[in-house]
Amino acid sequence: MSADATPTCPSRLLALPRAALRGVLHALPTVAGVILLSFFLMQAVPGDAADVIAAESGSATAESMAAVRTHFGLDLPVLRQLGNYLGHLARLDLGVSPRYNTPVADLIGSRLGNTALLMTTALGTALLAGIVLGTLMASHVGRWPDRLLSLAALLLYSTPGFWLGLMAIIVLSVQLGWLPPGGVSTIGAADTGAWAHALDVARHLVLPTLALAGFYVAIFARLTRAAMLEVSRQDFVRTARAKGVAPLAVTLRHILRNALMPVLTVAGLNFGTLLGGAVVVETVFSWPGLGRLAYESVSARDYVVLMGILILSSLLVIVANLLVDLAQTALDPRVRAR
């Protein structure tokens, strides 16, 4: 047993850098495609930030609008704008927002932490709840717990996240008063101490997390159930049961452990849709994150900020899928063999 296990660890460690390098090489054309496609789509949309600034000021003249376009390079030919933008990207510069007159990197940096907190909490909640519910469904397949949880998963899957969020605000915040309806923290909470501030942020985080995670709880629960039922029919599971291994140990150590691979894969694939869902959830709950910033940028025709958010979002999705590939490489010998 030990002789077989000895070469496994070095081979696993050697496989991880190869998988990481392969993922990075595959990601380069994806990022380039996202940049070019996003840029030309933004150029195809009528209007620009100068129009919005003029409408908000109420006293803009043709000369002032032309000055704004000249200052931010909005009056240049499309290909020249693309060249300038790529030149700034090569220097790791995302440009300056015409709407806020602030570097895009500073705007994104001020919102990134809130979005990362929301998405990490929502994804962790969805994975934990989905795996637990899927395990219960698979352990009681065909009986009333399975039917009841399957119905609940179907309801969560078919319910839009924004409606779930609005109902949560009405019931848990307006009627019961248990949780705050929106925002990231109470005004002045930062001055009450670190623990009190963290607790206040956690209370504000509950409702948007539930609204964002509900759909994915249903997906992970159904997928875990299906994967566990498939694994439970394998020969090694029947062998473990024939040897008298406890049912709970068979479920956790043999069935669930091998059923988690497709769940991890789907979690990585759904990271992009989770980021897209954050736009609606952050807007509903006034959560100051990248999703809300993207919505505000579209309304203000601030396409420089929107481009920066799209590029960062594509990088986050690529990194998430790369981490999933590395996890599969470390856990599954068949992936390392490829």
Measured CA to CA, the distance from residue 137 to residue 149 in angstroms comes to 7
Residue 300 makes CB contacts below 8 A (sequence gap 6+) with 49, 52, 99
- pLDDT band for 335, please (50, 70, 90 cuts): low
* Band of pLDDT at residue 331, cut at 50, 70 and 90: low
pTM above 0.85?
Answer: no
Other Cβ atoms less than 10 A from the Cβ of 192: the count is 12
Token pair for residue 215?
Answer: 């759909």
**In the chain, what are the domains?**
110-301 (1.10.3720.10)
Q: Which of the given ranges, 13-27, 268-282, 323-337, has the highest pLDDT on average?
A: 268-282
DSSP assignment letter at 45: S
Alpha-carbon distance of 291 to 266, in angstroms, equals: 22
Q: What is the mean pLDDT of residues 123-136?
A: 90
Quick check: 234 pLDDT over 70? Answer: yes
Is the pLDDT reported for residue 57 higher than 80? no
Mean pLDDT of 182-203: 75
State the average pLDDT over residues 116-123.
Answer: 89
Average pLDDT over residues 254-276: 81
Distance CA 159, CA 156 (A): 5
Average of per-residue pLDDT across 188-206:
77
pLDDT digits (tens, 9 = 90+) for 1-45: 334 444 455 555 555 566 666 666 777 787 788 888 888 887 777
The answer on pLDDT for 80 being more than 70 is yes
Given this model, what pLDDT does residue 330 score? 66
Q: Going by C-beta distance under 8 Å and a sequence separation of 6 or more, which residues neighbour residue 209?
A: 118, 121, 122, 125
Taking only the tens place, the pLDDT of each residue in 60-71 is 677 777 777 787
172-176, 191-195, 212-216, 295-299: the lowest-pLDDT one: 191-195
The tens digit of pLDDT for each residue in 88-106 reads 888 888 888 888 888 888 8
Mean pLDDT of 71-77: 76
* pLDDT tens, residue by residue, 283-315: 888 888 888 888 888 888 888 888 888 888 888
Angle between the 194-231 and 271-284 helix axes, to the nearest 10 degrees?
Answer: 140
pLDDT of residue 220: 92
Nearest to 134 by CA among 216, 243, 212: 216
- Alpha carbons within 13 A on the beta-carbon side of 245: 16
In terms of DSSP H, where are the helices of the chain?
2-5, 8-44, 49-57, 62-71, 78-90, 104-139, 144-158, 161-168, 194-231, 235-242, 247-249, 257-269, 271-284, 290-299, 303-331, 333-337
Q: Which of 70-79, 133-142, 226-235 has the weakest average pLDDT? A: 70-79
Q: Given this model, what pLDDT does residue 46 score? A: 74
For the chain, give the percent of residues with pLDDT over 90.
4
In DSSP terms, which residues pair with 103 in a beta bridge? 96
Strand partners, 96: 103
Q: What is the mean pLDDT of the chain?
A: 79
Q: In 3D, which of 116, 149, 122 has the Cα closest to residue 216?
A: 122
| pLDDT recorded at residue 3 | 41
Q: CA 276 to CA 295: how far, in whole Å?
A: 11
